[in-house]
């Protein structure tokens, strides 16, 4: 029977470590750019979200007509208090012509990589020239990946950071210092953004908060706003959006989930792919404030899944799943229950009466 290649967490960790996280982000930026250049060839729709009092579970599908992908992802801000990750995810690539899955992967790590790579791709077109300092408001799970991506694309090595959780700040300082970054811990967000050419906001609480006010942001700054990702969660003051040229991934989705959900329906914004292909100039002056209102989009997941599949295919980083039922006669599924040669015995620990101790 055919099996489906799986890049599990162990395999993903080995792949990232043996390749090098920064080197992998560099190559992933190239894959993302190529898919942004063919953005209009993809199916595009807002993700399907199931909200609960504790968080959200979402499905993010897309297809380019040949390959279909989807990602399952959750967002539960209170999870760390229970020893759980705020975000977990997995994804699938499938062949459109047969409908068969051809690759599966964990996507908690892969989402962090693709979010950082997308931020860096946007910054290439939108950040002011010769940017050398980035402020980071929020130093959680995304922070190290973002720092690596901005060093990859812009050469930024100086970071000014603030988070309300001292433990999270200490974690980031330990990791970022080991990666060779110069890190200044600020007492508050206002101190963090002082003198920065790029500001990244990425906080976890799913509330309409204002972690960055218009008064804090000087002319010419690029804001990488990646924390807004669901209805009822924002991080930027509306007045800052009014002052800025705002860029999004998929407008229809971002109006539901991004910073612009607090703006009128006719508020103008530009989709990033338009800048990548050259139909929009992006930043138009040294004084202009640019905002990348990024909520994450399915095409980016498609990109990282196809990138991972190409990179790990045939390697020891991949395991295989017995996921597809395939009887000799495709119209006789029941034969799998009667053909003893096709029935694989379960592992000993799962046989009737078996004991694991």
Number of other CB atoms surrounding residue 6 within 10 Å: 18
Number of other CB atoms surrounding residue 355 within 10 Å: 6
Pairing of strands 208-212, 234-236: parallel
> Quick check: is 322 catalytic?
no
Number of other CB atoms surrounding residue 202 within 10 Å: 25
- For residue 20, how many C-alpha atoms fall within 13 Å in the half-sphere facing its CB? 8
Determine whether 148 is exposed, middle or buried from the number of CB atoms within 10 Å of its CB (0-12, 13-18, 19+): buried
Q: Which residue carries 């950082």 as its tokens? A: 116
Q: Which one, of 286, 282, 253, lies nearest residue 270 by Cα?
A: 282
Choice among 8, 182, 188, 229 that is catalytic: 229
Q: Which residue carries 């009466």 as its tokens? A: 353
Distinct helix (H) and strand (E) counts, the chain: 11, 17
- Which residues pair with residue 291 across a beta bridge? 223, 246
Q: Where are the alpha helices (DSSP H) in the chain?
A: 9-19, 21-36, 108-126, 143-154, 166-178, 189-193, 238-243, 251-257, 272-276, 298-312, 335-338
Q: Which residue carries 């703006």 as its tokens? A: 263
Q: Which one, of 310, 301, 251, 229, lies nearest residue 70 by Cα?
A: 301
Q: Which one, of 280, 276, 251, 250, lies nearest residue 263 by Cα?
A: 251
**What angle (nearest 5°) sits at the alpha carbon of residue 193, between those of residues 154 and 243?**
90
Give the residue numbers annotated as catalytic, written as ranges. 229
């Amino acid at each position: 029977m055919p099996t489906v290649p799986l890049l599990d967490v162990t395999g993903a960790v080995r792949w990232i470590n043996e390749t090098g996280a920064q080197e992998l982000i560099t190559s992933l930026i190239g894959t993302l750019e190529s898919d942004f250049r063919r953005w209009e060839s993809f199916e595009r729709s807002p993700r399907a979200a199931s909200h609960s009092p504790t968080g959200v579970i979402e499905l993010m599908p897309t297809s380019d007509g040949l390959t279909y992908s989807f990602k399952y992802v959750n967002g539960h801000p209170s999870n760390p208090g229970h020893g759980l990750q705020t975000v977990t995810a997995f994804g699938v690539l499938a062949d459109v012509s047969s409908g068969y899955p051809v690759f599966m992967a964990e996507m908690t790590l892969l989402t962090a990589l693709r979010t950082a790579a997308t931020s860096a791709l946007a910054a290439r077109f939108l950040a002011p020239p010769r940017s050398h300092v980035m402020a980071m408001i929020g130093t959680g799970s995304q922070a190290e990946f973002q720092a690596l991506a901005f060093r990859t694309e812009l050469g930024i090595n100086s970071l000014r950071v603030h988070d309300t959780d001292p433990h999270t700040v200490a974690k980031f300082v330990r990791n970022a210092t080991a990666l060779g970054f110069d890190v200044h811990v600020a007492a508050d967000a206002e101190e963090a953004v002082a003198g920065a050419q790029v500001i990244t906001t990425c906080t976890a609480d799913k509330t309409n908060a204002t972690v960055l006010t218009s008064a804090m942001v000087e002319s010419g700054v690029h804001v990488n706003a990646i924390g807004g990702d669901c209805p009822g969660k924002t991080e930027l003051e509306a007045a800052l959006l009014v002052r800025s040229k705002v860029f999004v991934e998929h407008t229809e989705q971002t109006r539901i989930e991004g910073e612009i959900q607090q703006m009128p329906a006719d508020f103008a914004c530009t989709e990033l792919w338009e800048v990548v292909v050259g139909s929009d100039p992006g930043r138009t002056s040294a004084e202009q404030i640019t905002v990348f209102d990024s909520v994450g989009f399915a095409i980016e997941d498609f990109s990282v899944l196809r990138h991972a599949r190409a990179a790990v295919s045939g390697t020891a980083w991949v395991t295989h799943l017995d996921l597809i039922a395939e009887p000799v006669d495709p119209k006789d599924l029941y034969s799998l229950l009667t053909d003893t040669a096709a029935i694989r015995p379960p592992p000993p620990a799962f046989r009737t009466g078996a004991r694991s101790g």
